[in-house]
Homo-oligomer: A and B are copies of this chain.
């Protein structure tokens, strides 16, 4: 039995069981969790000790003495309709009074804003006043809708708030300290220094994470109201706004943050101001994080960042990340996408904390944690075979997991597989198709493996039909690059990219919205496809209603969407007869998820490979020397992953090479590591599968794989 690469979550009082599991699962490290601290005994178990530290809530006494250093937030009141000259708005209505406290101690005329949403203009400061939680609008326009944008102190650090509420903790509410204030920085460095000195047995300091949490807002009942795992609202304060203005000469208004109540979510095309705000905070956060990491190193320990809570500003795919000097990054993985999101971070060591967490939602009497785990592991394994992660672990309560002996056995098998990947590939890179796949959206590289995410890995109705593309790609033999429209407009499509994918709902940052009205962008892309590129559009690609067209690249895509303006135009949606390379492995009805509707052929030579409700759901065609495919949606499934695999090869005009280091059976996949002369063939299904494996010289062989099983085969014998 192998050992290593595994971090065991510790639980106080379970030292004996921990020792057994260290053996059973081959753990070489133990760690504490939020809300637990390991006993001294844990340190003597012979494994490295990972200790959690969240600096901004580490010294609540100091935070209480320095209320001016609490983090702030921008909130917009619930919109209200004026029914008379006077409108009174209870600004905290709908918000959790234990989470936020309006900051009325600042210059309200500068940092607060009252908006007439019906006119779309701010209300002059002379026409409103604030007192005791209520903004009073004077001379209101009757039946106009008004909102108040206001600064609020965060009086309960949101991650501890969530855990506190979820687990019924009784501890004092923690205040989040804002490192924007020099005195806060000085104090936190001292806290860290003392903490490091006080934890001699800690080998690795696990920052969870740094200084500003993503946007997590609770409603008046203390339940989640909204979450944006990519939000930067916690970074806001009058001081930050002043420094921003000094640095860039740009003034940010409250509206730049509340964004008419949409708060610049990841799904919106980011404004130039908002991108600058991210940049501003990323630079600042990285600089102070670097100081903290240096201090950790000074104490002879390693520094690890949890890619989760409080990661705003510590953008792993941003330009300042490497300067922090971290030794490792760990993050939660529930699927292939999140595994790749962690695996591809430019850092020496990465670690995944696999789902399911040992929490009562899965580990209940009669529950089936093995089933949950199997589903997750199959997705993660695909990703791990493409991009290595150095370590793995779990989260939650060991005591819960121990009640399920079959799960304990099952995890032993996963840890074996995890280590075997490393042992077999020996650092070698997997073979990839001879062209890269580019994901094209408004964010580009900054959001590598982070498209269509609300709270990462959480299922969302507006996301799953698109997220399946990345989930498939996480385990397919392609190098994936994330490109922004700016990248393409300025530099063109990189030479090694063979196929571009633009996928998303109309208007969102993923589809691109009004970016598609840019003549330079559309002309560059048309030319690129015309010269031989491949273009895949999913859902509502290249969509912006302009000059009579909705999908701006209708000529490339070969399809268009009827918005209801030209319903009298005759455009029958008829399935093209005959078989096609793309759909050759389709055995059951294709699942397009939420799908699309009213899609018709915009060119005569478009092939309609699938049609439902008079709408093309899968279509393809040629544009000059290039090719394009339209898909109504692509949730992840084995069939859809195979469909995408074929689609990519077809779009690249390389369908003759599809069966190079590939398998015949869509339930199976293979990964070749040429430099290690080893091949891994996996069965991604819960049934025994027979498959033929094709090499690159026309040779092939047959294999029978057990359910969820794999085979490693040497290619040099």
Binding site for B on A (CB under 8 A): 79, 81, 83, 115, 117-120, 141-145, 219, 223-229, 259-263, 265, 267-268, 454-455, 460-463, 504-508, 517, 519, 522-524, 526-527, 530, 545-549, 555, 562-570, 594, 597-598, 613-614, 624
Q: Is the CB of A519 within 8 A of B144?
A: yes
* Interface secondary structure of A, over-half rule: loop
Nearest CB in chain B to that of A460: its residue: B567
Contacts of A460 in B (CB 8 A): 567-568
Contacts of A523 in B (CB 8 A): 118, 141-144
Number of copies: 2
Question: Which of A259, A462, A524, A613 has the most B CB atoms < 10 Å from its CB?
Answer: A462
State which of B259, B506, B565, B569 has its C-beta within 8 Å of the C-beta of A225.
Answer: B569
User: Per a CB cutoff under 8 Å, which of B226, B565, B598 touches A267?
Assistant: B565
Known: A507-B545, A530-B143, A563-B507. A227 touches B568 (CB 8 A): yes
Q: Which residues of B contact A267 (CB under 8 A)?
A: 564-567
Which chain B residue lies CB-closest to A216?
Answer: B568
Residues of B within 8 A of A454 (CB): 567-568
Residue of B nearest to A513 (CB): B565
Are A462 and B262 closer than 8 Å at their CB atoms?
no
State whether A505 and B141 are in contact (beta carbons under 8 Å apart), knowing that A117-B547, A461-B614 are contacts in the complex.
no
- Closest chain B residue, CB of each to CB of A230: B568
CB atoms of A462 and B567 under 8 A apart: yes
**Known contacts A79-B555, A262-B548, A563-B505; is A522 also within 8 Å of B568 by CB?**
no
Q: Separation in Å of the A667 CB from the closest CB of chain B?
A: 29
Min CB distance A626 to B, Å, is 12
> A460–B546 Cα gap in the complex (Å)?
24
Is the pair A624, B508 in contact by a Cβ cutoff of 8 Å?
Answer: no
Chain B residue with Cβ nearest A223:
B570
Known: A523-B142, A555-B145. Contact between A268 and B505, CB under 8 A?
A: no
State how many angstroms separate the Cβ of A715 from the closest Cβ of chain B. 44
Decide: B594 and A597 in contact? CB cutoff 8 A: yes
Residue in B closest to A528 when the chains form the complex, CB atoms? B143
Contact present for A570 and B142 (CB under 8 Å): no
Looking at the complex, which one of B144, B227, B462, B563 makes contact with A564 (CB distance below 8 Å)? B462
CA–CA, A165 and B614, complex, Å? 26
Cβ-defined partner of A268 (8 Å) among B227, B530, B565? B565
Within the complex, which residue of B463, B507, B555, B565 is in contact with A265, where a contact is CB–CB below 8 Å?
A: B565
With a CB–CB cut-off of 8 A, which chain B residues contact A549? 79, 117, 145, 260
Q: Smallest CB-CB separation from A258: which chain B residue?
A: B548
- The chain B residue with its CB closest to the CB of A504 is B564
Q: How far is the CA of A568 from the CA of B459 in the complex (A)?
A: 10
Cα–Cα, bound, A33→B402 (Å):
87
Bound form: Cα–Cα A267–B568 in Å: 9
Other-chain contact of A141, B260, B519, B614, B624 (Cβ < 8 Å): B519
Q: Which of A504, A522, A545 gathers the greatest number of chain B CB atoms within 10 Å?
A: A522
Interchain nearest-CB distance for A461 vs B (Å): 6
User: How near does chain B come to A547, taking the closest CB pair, in angstroms?
Assistant: 4
Nearest Cβ on chain B to A504's Cβ, whole angstroms: 8
A-B contact pairs, 19 of them (CB 8 A): A79-B555, A81-B526, A117-B547, A142-B523, A143-B523, A143-B524, A225-B570, A226-B566, A226-B570, A260-B549, A261-B548, A263-B566, A265-B568, A460-B568, A462-B564, A462-B567, A507-B545, A508-B565, A594-B597
A524 to B142 alpha-carbon distance, docked (Å)? 9
Complex-state Cα separation, A136 to B507, whole angstroms: 35
Do B548 and A259 touch across chains, with their CB atoms under 8 A apart? Answer: yes
Is the Cβ of B81 less than 8 Å from the Cβ of A555? yes
In angstroms, Cα B260 to Cα A545, docked, is: 11
CB-CB < 8 A to A504: which residues of B?
564
Looking at A261, A504, A547, the one whose CB has the most chain B CB atoms below 10 A away is A547
Known: A118-B547, A460-B567. 5 other contacts (CB 8 A): A117-B549, A225-B570, A267-B565, A506-B564, A507-B565
Distance from A527 Cβ to chain B, minimum over Cβ atoms (Å): 5
- Select from chain B the residue with minimum beta-carbon distance to A225: B570
Is the CB–CB distance between B119 and A519 below 8 Å?
yes
Given known pairs A507-B564, A568-B454, the reply for A624 and B461 (CB within 8 Å) is no
Would B530 and A568 count as touching, CB distance under 8 A? no
Contact A143 B526 (CB under 8 A): yes
